[in-house]
Amino acid sequence: MAVHIIFAIALAHGLHDLIQSCLPAIYPMLKLNFDLSFTQIGIISLVYQMTASILQPWVGLYTDKHPKPYLLPLGMCVTLLGIVLLAFAWTFQILLISAALIGLGSSAFHPEASRVARTASGGRFGTAQSAFQVGGNSGSAVGPLLAAAIIVPNGQASVAWLMIFAIFAIYLLYRISRWTIQYGVQAASAVKAKQSTPLKGSKLVQGIVIICALMFAKFTYIASIGNYYTFYLIEKFQVSIQQAQLYLFAFLAAVAIGTFAGGPIGDKIGRKAVIWISFISMTPFALLMPHVNLMWTCIFAILAGLIMSSAFSAMVVYAQEAMPGRVGMVSGLMFGLMFGISGIAAAALGYVADHQGIRWVFHFSSYLPLLGLLTFFLPRTN
C-alpha cells in the first residue's frame, strides 16, 4: 500500500468535503438572508446534488479508457469559482449557479480520487476506500463547525475564507496527479492480480440493483439529517442555530468514525457481512429517534450515523469487485447515486416539510433502514 498517497487523497477528500458541507450548514442563514422557503432550500440541494451526480458515471467511464490525472486539480478549480459566487451571491438564481459549480467540481473529483485510492491500495481495497471515505467524512463534520464559528457570525461574505482550503487542495491534487503519471501503471498492475472474481449475467444485475436500493435507503436517511436536522432541533427543542450546528457536527463526526471501521472489517469478513450488520444494527436507533428528548435524540443520531456509515465503503468496494474492469465508471456510479439520491431526497423532503412539517419528515425517514433487509439477497463476490 502506498500509504503517503492514501493519506494525501484522504486529506484532499477532507478539504473537498469540508467545502461541500458548508453549503447545507449555512442554509438557515441563507433562508433568513433571502427569505427562502423549505422548498427553495431543497431546490438548492437538488441543483448541487444533481450536478454532482449526473456526470460522475460518464466521467468515470471516459477516464477508464482515456486517463486524465489532471482532472483532479482542474475540478477543484471549478469548486473554487463556486465558492466565490456563493460568498457574493445577491439573488436566489446566483445561489443556484454557485451550487451547480460546486457540484460540477465534485463530479470531476470523486471518480478519479476513488480510482487513485484503489490503485494505491496494494490489494487492501476496503482499507484504502475507508481511509479515503473517512477523509471526506471528517471534512464533512468539520464544515458545519467552521460555518458555526466563522460564517454564521460574520455573514455570507465570510464564505470566501473557504478559498484557502480550495487552493491548498488544488496544490495537493496536482502532486497526486504527478504520482499517478509516474507510478500509477505499475501500482495498478500489482492491484489487478489481487482482484476477486467478477459477477456476471443475472447475478451482476441482481447485485447492482440491490446495492442501488441500499444506497437509496442510506442516503435518503442521511439527507434528512444532513439537510434538516438543524431545523428539526430548532423547531422541536428551541435550540439556537449555533447549538444546532454543534449537534450536526457530532452526528457527522460519528459518520466519519464509523466509515473507517467498515473497510478493514470488510477486508476480513466480506463486504456483504459489513453491509448486513450496518443496516440491521442501526435500525432501532433510527426508529426511536423521533420519539425521545433532546439528549437521546442526539445520542441516537450519533449511534445511527456511527453504525450506518460503515456500509458505504463496503458497498463501493462490492460494486468495484463485481465489475473490476470498470473502476472509474463504478466509482462514478456509486458517488453519483450518492449525490443524486441525496439531492432528490433533499428537494422532496423539503417540499414535504413545507406541507406536513419537519417532524413528519423525521418520522418517515426513521423507517428507511428497514430496506437493509435486501442485503440477504446480495450475491457474494469474495
Find the domain containing 87 and state its range: 3-377
Residue type, 143: G
In a domain, 347, yes or no: yes
Residue 39: CA atoms inside 13 Å, Cβ hemisphere, count? 5
**Does 382 reside within a domain?**
no
Q: What confidence score (pLDDT) does residue 189 get?
A: 52
Could you tell me where the DSSP H helices lie in the chain? 3-25, 27-34, 38-51, 56-65, 71-88, 92-119, 125-146, 152-154, 162-192, 201-237, 241-269, 271-288, 294-308, 310-322, 327-356, 358-365
Residue 124 resides in a domain: yes
Q: Is residue 365 part of a domain?
A: yes
Cell numbers 456511527: residue: 306
* Distance from C-alpha of 275 to C-alpha of 309, rounded to nearest angstrom: 10
pLDDT at 292: 92
Residue 173 domain-assigned?
Answer: yes
Using alpha carbons, select from 47, 77, 6 the residue that is nearest to residue 350. 47
Q: CB neighbours of 210 closer than 8 A, spacing ≥ 6?
A: 374, 375, 377, 378
Total domains in the fold of the chain:
1
Which residue's C-alpha cell is 434528512?
224
Which pLDDT tens digits describe the chain residue by residue (382 residues)?
677 888 888 899 889 888 887 887 788 788 888 887 878 887 887 888 778 777 777 777 777 777 777 888 998 999 999 989 988 888 888 989 998 998 888 888 877 887 787 777 766 777 777 788 778 777 877 887 788 788 878 878 888 888 999 999 999 999 888 888 776 555 555 555 455 566 777 888 888 888 888 888 888 888 788 778 888 899 999 888 778 878 887 887 787 777 777 667 777 777 788 888 888 888 899 899 999 999 999 999 999 888 887 787 788 778 877 777 666 677 667 766 666 676 677 778 888 888 888 899 888 888 988 888 888 888 876 5
Angle CA 87–93–94, to nearest 5: 25
- State residue 22's pLDDT score: 82
pLDDT at 123: 67
- The whole-angstrom separation of Cα 290 and Cα 283 is 13
Burial grade of 90 (CB within 10 A; 0-12, 13-18, 19 or more)? exposed
pLDDT of 196: 57
What is the sign of the dihedral through the CA atoms of 335, 84, 173 and 150?
A: negative
**pLDDT score of 193:** 47
Amino acid (one-letter) located at 176:
I
Pick from 348, 359, 256, 262: nearest CA to 311: 262
Residue 174 is assigned to a structural domain of this protein: yes
CA angle 296, 369, 331 (to 5 degrees): 120
**CATH (domain of 190):** 1.20.1250.20
Q: Is the dihedral of CA 24, 29, 32, 35 positive or negative?
A: negative
Rounded to whole angstroms, what are the CA distances from 14 to 18, 51, 110?
6, 20, 12
